[in-house]
Amino acid sequence: MNHLVRSKPNRTFLLFLCLVFFLSCGKAQTGTSSVSPSAEAKATEAAMTVDEVELPTPDPNAATACAPVDTPEPVLSEPEETPSAEPAAVTPESETPEPVVTPVPVTDEQLDEGYLDAWFDDSVLIGDSLVAGLTGYVTAEKDKGHPCLGNMQLVGASALTLKKALGCEKKERDAELKYRTRYMTVSEVVDAVHAKRLFIMLGTNDIRWYSADELTEVYGELLRLIKDKHPDLRIYIHSVMPMIKKYAQEIGVTVEMGKAANEKLRAFCEENGYTYLELADLVRDDEGYLTYDYSAQDYRFHLNGKGKAFWVRLLRSCARDEYYAGIWSPEEIGNE
């Protein structure tokens, strides 16, 4: 009989082994093995051969860190258009600038000879007895064979005033201007003559009754009525005539009254685009009255032949001024 007796395993030791085994299994499941990564890799490499390694096949639809999902495409802005410079204006070769015509100077001698008298062919001069007196002078000059104011029409009425002329224009009284056997208003004479220019000599018979302001007011109303019917008519207004000193004192007209009226008339013409003709200064003396050298024999305010010659020269000077201003040219009407 075998007396060898096998001893039972120690229970404490067995429990220890079970605990170690349990702990080893838990670490393996949680990936927290106590074995270092390098040691584990080496063990794996040793257990596998190169032929046994299988490389994973890349999934083309899988997202990667270098290509984020839903990356917005860049927005390309349209390049700004640089405005192109406008081409310089090209002047056609056929278009050449018109040459500037310099008026040929006209001397006083040429004026007196009637060089520019054709300018008066479509003009009319209307006024009081001063105009009636000038009519006789112009007719006498033409009878001598001297050209004088072309075919200008002169229509004057004795004692005609601005107030009367306005009343006739407004049909408040009978017309007093007689033209070719008919009595007419200022507008009717302009129509009959087909005038482009209207010269007026009025106011000398009014100055004893009306102030300078009243005279210009009447002038303004009269000319408005005329311009309404003839908007293209050019207007020329004479100054109020000075008087012989004795006569002026008899009717109560002073030099200051005449000068004030003419200053108002000048300003009135400038404001309304009319031409003012200063005849008074050409025939007055140092005191401001009409000089005896230019006075008719009635010694009131009418002019003699020498004074009327100054008046004609003034009218012709007006034609020269507009010629120099380029408003008209004598060549246009065949007067060379």
Residue 79: CA atoms inside 13 Å, Cβ hemisphere, count?
Answer: 3
**What's the distance, Cα to Cα, between the start and end of the chain in Å?**
181
pLDDT at 252 over 50: yes
Task: DSSP letter for 36, please.
Answer: -
User: 144-153, 280-289, 324-333 — which is least confidently predicted?
Assistant: 324-333
Could you tell me the two tokens for 237?
């207004």
pLDDT at 2: 41
Question: Are the C-beta atoms of 219 and 162 separated by less than 8 Å?
Answer: yes
Q: Return the amino acid letter for 277.
A: L
CA dist 166 and 186 (Å) reads 9
Domains recognised in the chain with CATH numbers: 108-325 (3.40.50.1110)
CB atoms within 10 A of CB 204: 27
- 3-state SS class at 142: helix
Confidence of residue 1 (pLDDT cuts 50, 70, 90): very low
pLDDT at 191: 96
Confidence of residue 226 (pLDDT cuts 50, 70, 90): very high
pLDDT at 180 over 50: yes
Strand partners, 124: 153, 198
Share of the chain above pLDDT 70, in %: 68
Confidence of residue 335 (pLDDT cuts 50, 70, 90): very low
User: 10-24, 161-175, 219-233 — which is least confidently predicted?
Assistant: 10-24
- List Cα–Cα distances, 166 to 162, 188, 302, in angstroms: 6, 13, 23
- 3-state SS class at 264: helix
DSSP β-ladder status, 153-156 and 234-238: unpaired
Q: Give 84-138 pLDDT, tens digit per residue.
A: 555 454 444 556 665 556 788 999 999 999 999 999 999 999 999 999 999 999 9
pLDDT at 299 over 80: yes
DSSP state letters, 61-106: TS-BTTB-TTPPPPPPPPPPPPPPPPPPP---TT--PPPPPPPPP-
Higher-pLDDT residue of 15, 149: 149
Strand order in the sheet with 123-127: 153-156, 123-127, 197-201, 234-238, 275-277
- List Cα–Cα distances, 302 to 14, 240, 281, 305, in angstroms: 166, 12, 15, 10
User: 104-108, 263-267, 274-278, 301-305 — which is least confidently predicted?
Assistant: 104-108
Instruction: Indicate the pTM of the whole model.
Output: 0.70
Confidence of residue 329 (pLDDT cuts 50, 70, 90): confident
